[in-house]
Amino acid sequence: MTFPTFLFATLIALLYAAIYHFIRGGSGWRFLLYIGLSIAGLFAGHWFGATLGWNIFLIGPLNLGMGTLGSILFLVIGEWLSRIELRKKSSV
């Protein structure tokens, strides 16, 4: 992956994170979580698609289709896992 492709992919991931934050809401820390999840998901999806040869929507060397699917998957699962609250067992 070339450096301009890396910058473009990061920009797309930031856009996905901003849209998801606009839809789901939350604090600034949650927005940082969405940014990290979106970037990790986009690059994981790109890598997964390139490894298996699943080319859905290519823009140069970037597999944007699989990257988008990975980003959405990471955002949804990561946000769901971040909302789980642990309960303390009572000692009674």
| Mean pLDDT, contiguous 10-residue spans, the chain (92 residues) | 91 95 89 95 94 89 93 94 79 66
Confirm if 54 and 66 have CB atoms less than 8 A apart.
Answer: yes
Q: What CA–CA distance (Å, rounded) separates 62 from 78? A: 23
Q: Which two three-digit tokens encode residue 30?
A: 């949650």
Give residue 71's pLDDT: 96
Q: What is the pLDDT of residue 92?
A: 63
pLDDT of residue 22: 94
pTM of the model: 0.84
- pLDDT score at 84: 78
The neighbouring-strand residues paired with 62 are: 59
Rounded Cα–Cα distance for residues 24 and 75 (Å): 11
Q: Tell me, what's the pLDDT at 87?
A: 78
